[in-house]
Structure formats: structure tokens, C-alpha cells
Amino acid sequence: MVLGPLFLSYGMIPSVMSGTNQYITLIASISVALQFAYQGQMLLPYAGLFGAITVVCAYIGIKGVTAYVKKSGKQSVITIILAFCLIVALLSLPLKYLLLDQSKAPKA
């Protein structure tokens, strides 16, 4: 979340910035997954399911964004998508707890 805007402020091309962030995230995710597997706390069927879904969705997303960038020549769509994802992530946690609090509130 910090490196993306920092890379953009240094004038890095959005597609290179996105790839760099994805690589950093990949390394961090693999290390956490290995720690869970080593401790025996990973539910392998769910990990396989979510891994497969992630691979398919990433493939579709990459192909879609690449096609749009080739067609329009604008790489700003990558920045817009990243900003949208960050905003959704920022709002999702407080929204979850707000909804949980409302569901536990006594009904009058």
C-alpha cells in the first residue's frame, strides 16, 4: 500500500509498479503460507480452492487490463484499478464491524 504510490511518485510506469508490488506480495504470501503449513494450521482443501480461484481470476484480470492498455494506449487504468482496490480494502473492515454491531443490537 505504501510502495505503489511511492513508485508512481518517482515516475515509474504503472505496469512496472504493479508488477513489482505483485512480486513483493507474492513473496510475503508464500512465506506466510509456508509458516501455516509448517505449523499444521493450513486447511489444504480450502487453500487449494482459493489458490485455483486466484489463479483463474488473476489470469482473466491480466488479460483484460493488457487488452485495454493495448487498445487505448492509456496505462492509467492500472492506477485506477489499484486505487479502487485500496479504497474497497480500506472501507471493508470498518463496514464489517459496523454491520456486526448492528446485527447484535437489541431490536425495539
Domain boundaries, given as residue ranges, for the chain: 3-104
The whole-number average pLDDT for the span 5-24 is: 84
In the chain, alpha helices (H) = 3-9, 14-39, 44-72, 76-104
pLDDT of residue 21: 85
The whole-number average pLDDT for the span 102-107 is: 76
pLDDT of residue 103: 79
Alpha-carbon span 68 to 53, nearest angstrom? 22
- Grid cell listed for 34: 509456508
Q: What is the pTM of this model?
A: 0.55
- pLDDT tens profile 29-54: 899 999 999 999 999 999 999 999 99
Alpha-carbon span 57 to 7, nearest angstrom? 25
